[in-house]
Amino acid sequence: MSTTPRFPNPAVLNPAIVESGAVMRGIAANGSLPRPTVSMVQLRVGQLFGSDYLTALHTGLLRAAGETEERIAAVADWKHATQLTDAERAALALVDAVYAPEVSDRHVSDALYAEAAKHYDEAALMTLAGVIGQVGFFVPLALIGLPAPGLPPEQQWRE
């Protein structure tokens, strides 16, 4: 499989994509969720979809925010991770339920919602749902366009 970026810079090719992404990044700006939780959610989505770009991006953001390597690594095995809080595990459980659901009649069960509601008020739950969707917006761009991980945005794309 190719690792060469397939798309030119979206800011040049289709500025509306970049503008939409900037608006969506504002979803988490209300402060109702701790920033590390937001980044862990974003990292988990990258892991579930096998996106090297999203995984590298959000791992780097967690490192830059001072998260330990143990806590960052724990996101991949969050169900058994003692390094994460119950609230963080509930947020990651919602990510898995949305993007990698078990075979059932519902993605997010009433029990899972109740567990998340123990840790987050309604504003935080709405923000969490928005953040899960926000990173989902970038998944097709990352998987189809293959931006190069670890580079500044203007260097991630094909010339």
Residue 105 banded pLDDT, cuts 50, 70, 90: low
- What does the pLDDT look like over 119-128, one tens digit per residue? 999 999 999 9
The number of folded domains in the chain is: 1
Chain centroid offset of residue 35 CA: 12
Q: What is the CATH number of the domain that holds 38?
A: 1.20.1290.10
73-82 burial code (b ≥16 CB/10 A, e <16): ebbeebeebe
In a domain, 26, yes or no: no
| 81: in domain | yes
Does residue 10 belong to any structural domain of this protein?
no
Measured CA distances, 68 to 45, 51, 62 (Å): 19, 21, 8
Per-residue pLDDT reduced to its tens digit, 21-60? 889 888 988 899 999 999 999 999 999 999 999 999 999 9
Q: Is 0.85 topped by the overall pTM?
A: yes
| 127 belongs to a structural domain | yes
Asked whether residue 155 is assigned to any structural domain, the reply reads no
Would you say residue 44 lies in a domain? Answer: yes
Reply yes or no on whether the pLDDT at 103 is more than 90.
no
- Determine, yes or no, domain membership for 13: no
